Amino acid sequence: MSQRTCLSVILAAGEGTRMKSAVAKVLHPIAGLPMVAHVIKAAEAAGSGDLALVIGHGADEMRKATQKFALKAELFVQDKRLGTAHAVLAARDAISKGYDDILVMFGDTPLIDPEVLVAARLKLAEGAAVVVVGFRTSNPSGYGRLIEKGGKLIAIREEKDCTDEEKKITFCNGGLMAIAGKHALQLLDQVGNNNAKGEYYLTDIVEIAGGQGLDVVAAEAGFENVLGINNRAELAEAEGIWQTRRRREAMLSGVTLIAPETVFFSYDTEIGADTIVEPNVWFGPGVTIATGAKIHAFSHIEGATIASNCDVGPYARLRPGSDLRQKAKVGNFCEVKQAVIEEGAKVNHLTYIGDARVGAGANIGAGTITCNYDGYSKFFTDIGEGAFVGSNSSLVAPVTIGKGGYVASGSVITESVPDDGLAFGRARQRTLPGKGKELRERFASAAARKKG
C-alpha cells in the first residue's frame, strides 16, 4: 500500500441549506474542527498523498479556511451542481495525473474511519476497478441498495427503482467510493444524465465498469462512518458519536473520567495516563495534559499545557497560553491567560493571572489580580520563586515581585518589590471609638425623615 499513490477527491460544494447558516455546511465544527477537516485527516491517515477539494458555495470562505487545515489541498470549483459525477470531474486535472488509487469522499461525513478507506484501497490493490463502501441496517428504507451477485457488485439501485425482493436487501450504499486511477476518467466520462433530474450520478459507474468486465466490489463499514450531516440536529448527533469514541479511547489509555458523558474533548486534546477528570469539564483546542493531573469539575480549558501532577479547578478557566508546570495548582474560580505557573506554585481562589510568570513555590492569595491591560497594551507581571502575595492584592503591570518577596493583603502594587522585600500598598487604618454607633443613628434618622 505504501508504494501505491493515492488522490482523495473530497466533494464539498453542497450549499447545505438545511443548516440554515451563512457558514458553508462543511465548515461547521465537530470537536472544534470543521467537519471537512475530519474527512481530510482520515484521508491522510489512510495514505492519501494528495487532496483535491471540490468547492462551490462559499468558495472564498472555503479557500481561507483550508489554509488552516489543508495547506496541500488543491481546490477546484464546481460552478453548477449537476450531480456527484459532475462534481468529481471538476477535479479532472488532478485525477489525470495518474494515481493508482482515487478515493471519492464527502466533506459532510466527518466520522469516517481511516481503516475503512485503507480496506477499500486494499481491494483496489487486489484488482478491483471500483469499490463502493456500504453499510448494513435493519431499516433500509430510503437508501440505495447494493445489488451483489457472485461476490461482485452489479448495481446500486435507488429504492424507488427496486423490486419488492430488492427492497428486502439491507446492504445499502454509503456513498464513499474508491476507483482504480487507470480507469477513473474513462468511467466518469461515460456517465450520462438521462434521468429525471438531468444530473450525472457517480453511482452509474458501477454498471458501466461491470459492463466492461471490470471487477466491482463492495466494502462494508459501520453506519457511523458514512453518516452525512445535513442539519443542526445531525451535527449534534455526530458530535455525540465523536465524543463517545474519544472518551472511550481516553479511558482505555489510562485516563479516569468519572462521568464520561459530561466531559468534552477537542480534536487535538492530548491527555496522559493516570489523569483524573471530574464531571462537566470542557477541553477546547490546543490542550496537552501530562500524567497524573487532576482536573476538577466545571473547568474550562483551551490552549493550555498542564504538566504532571497538576491540580486544576473546580470552576477554573485556563485560557490560551496557560502553562502549568509540575505540581502547580490553579484552584476554584481562577482564570489564567498567557502565563506560566511554575513548579509547585499555588493560585488557589478567585484570582486572575494574565501575562505573567508565577515562580516555583509562590503562593497567590485569594482575590489577587494582575492588572495587565491599560485599554491599549498588555504588560507583564513577574512573580519570583517563593513569593507570597496576600489576598485581595492588585499587581499593576509592568511590575516584578522578587524572589521571596512578600505583598501584604489588600495592597495595590505599582512599584517592583525586591527579593525578600515586604510591600504595603494600602492606606493606613484609622479606628474611631463610638463613631460606628453615631453613624448608624444618623443614617436611621435620615431614612425615617425620608419615609415621613
CA dihedral 283, 287, 291, 293 (to 10 degrees): -50
The reply, when asked if residue 144 is annotated as ligand binding, is yes
Three cell numbers written together for 114: 481511516
What Rg, from alpha-carbon coordinates, does the chain have? 31
How many angstroms separate the CA atoms of 143 and 417, rounded? 72
Q: Identify the bridge partners of residue 413 per DSSP, sorted by sequence position.
A: 395
CA dihedral 195, 156, 208, 3 (to 10 degrees): 130
3-class secondary structure, 373: strand
428: DSSP letter: P
Look at residues 105, 117, 119 and name the one whose alpha carbon lies nearest to residue 35. Answer: 105
The reply, when asked if residue 186 is annotated as ligand binding, is no
The reply, when asked if residue 146 is annotated as ligand binding, is no
Backbone angles phi, psi at 409, to 5 degrees: -55, 145
How many angstroms separate the CA atoms of 442 and 275, rounded? 59
Candidates 28, 57, 183, 349; catalytic one: 349
The reply, when asked if residue 372 is annotated as ligand binding, is yes
The reply, when asked if residue 288 is annotated as ligand binding, is no
Backbone angles phi, psi at 291, to 5 degrees: -75, 150
The reply, when asked if residue 332 is annotated as ligand binding, is no
The reply, when asked if residue 299 is annotated as ligand binding, is no
Task: Return the ∠ at Cα 339 (arms to 258 and 421), rounded to 5°.
Answer: 120
Distances (CA, A) of 260 to 110, 246, 255, 306, 369: 22, 10, 10, 20, 33
In single-letter form, the type of residue at position 338 comes to Q
Three cell numbers written together for 149: 451477485
3-class secondary structure, 258: coil
Q: Are strands 50-55 and 130-136 parallel, antiparallel or unpaired?
A: unpaired
How many angstroms separate the CA atoms of 202 and 221, rounded? 19
How many angstroms separate the CA atoms of 385 and 392, rounded? 20
The reply, when asked if residue 99 is annotated as ligand binding, is no
Establish whether 57 is a catalytic residue.
no
The reply, when asked if residue 13 is annotated as ligand binding, is yes
The reply, when asked if residue 366 is annotated as ligand binding, is yes
The reply, when asked if residue 409 is annotated as ligand binding, is yes
The reply, when asked if residue 303 is annotated as ligand binding, is no
The reply, when asked if residue 225 is annotated as ligand binding, is no
Positive or negative, the Cα torsion across 440, 446, 451, 452? positive
The reply, when asked if residue 338 is annotated as ligand binding, is no
Note whether 111 and 105 are within 8 A (CB): no
The reply, when asked if residue 337 is annotated as ligand binding, is yes
The reply, when asked if residue 158 is annotated as ligand binding, is yes
The reply, when asked if residue 78 is annotated as ligand binding, is yes
Spell out a b/e string for 115-130, using b for 16 or more CB atoms within 10 Å of the CB, else e.
Answer: ebbebbbbbbeeebbb
Note whether 282 and 266 are within 8 A (CB): no
How many angstroms separate the CA atoms of 388 and 402, rounded? 10
The reply, when asked if residue 173 is annotated as ligand binding, is yes
The reply, when asked if residue 60 is annotated as ligand binding, is no
Please state the residue numbers annotated as binding site for acetyl-CoA: 366, 372-373, 391, 409, 426
Residues with active-site annotation: 349
Please state the residue numbers annotated as binding site: 11-14, 25, 78, 83-84, 108, 144, 158, 173, 230, 319, 337, 352, 363, 366, 372-373, 391, 409, 426
Please state the residue numbers annotated as binding site for Mg(2+): 108, 230
Please state the residue numbers annotated as binding site for UDP-N-acetyl-alpha-D-glucosamine: 11-14, 25, 78, 83-84, 144, 158, 173, 230, 319, 337, 352, 363
